Structure 1
Amino acid sequence: MFGFKKKKIESPSIDISSPLSGQFLALDEVQDEAFSSKAMGEGFAILPDSGRVIAPFDGIIAHIMEKSKHAILIEHNSGVQLLIHVGMDTVSLKGKGFTAHVSNGDRVKKGQLLLEFDMETLRENGCSTVTPIVVPGGQDNISRVEVVSESKQPENETVLRIFY
């Protein structure tokens, strides 16, 4: 009667750019069943072209594997968490080839260097450099996760959107 339209309310979201430069891979292309089956969560992977991992958003380091340094869990101010798992079978290196620039509990800014790794050391030790970036399952505050770009070079481009 009065021409009022209901405005669709979209839940808040976080745009995630790739924390590594390199080639985008869908999770089903990862040669590890835990990631390719999405048992670890939704997301994507990168075949890196450099050994640098940067923060994909402002947040806090919820957990870094202190001995192996191969995985980082970063938490957004909303409570949403993102796992960056560098390479496959890299836990076996026990930190060899990895340099962490952050510690558990550190506050970080988008683009800040979190971790460096020597890609040649990983390869020489039989480890893949393919790096899954996933939203771990079991986070009740997340309503959905969308891959929004499959650009072959996703650096500085939104690749994932998390709705909470």
Structure 2
Amino acid sequence: MFTTPTNFFNNSQNDPKPIKLNSRTRTPLEKQFETWIDKLKPGFTPDDVNEALLSQSDPDLALDIFRWTSQQRNYKHNHITYRTIIQIAIHGKRFGHAETLIEEVIAGACSGSEELYNAIIRYCSNKRHLFNRAFDVYKKMLKSVDCKPSLETYTRLLNAV
């Protein structure tokens, strides 16, 4: 006796366990990212984000956390989180990311600090194609009310010339 196509497809005895089409294995990086995002409770501060960034051994994970937090409502990175993520990107050899972050700072993404600006000047003065950006940061410092060039700033710029 043959089963009609309708009975064949409706026969619960023949149905294997349903397969979830959207299920896939998450990578370790995705799992770590989700763990850190879960730790950042609503209302997190730049200090909380900075702690999360400093806890990462993987620069890509730190960059993902930085970008995710920047998209959250009522949150804005400050000079501390920018300095931290720029240093992480540089030490992790993610130079393209570092340069993008530097451009964001120069464009005014956060308020500046002497430490942040000097870190940017240090990096840019060591890269021929970014040499002029070091002086852009210096000019930004000159215009700033809160953050003026220091002896370290002038030393770095003079050593770069």
Q: Is TM (by shorter chain) over 0.5?
A: no
Return the TM-score normalized by structure 2: 0.25
Choose 1 or 2 for highest CA Rg. 2
Higher strand proportion (structure 1 or 2): 1
Q: Which has the higher contact order (CA 8 A, sep 6+)?
A: 1
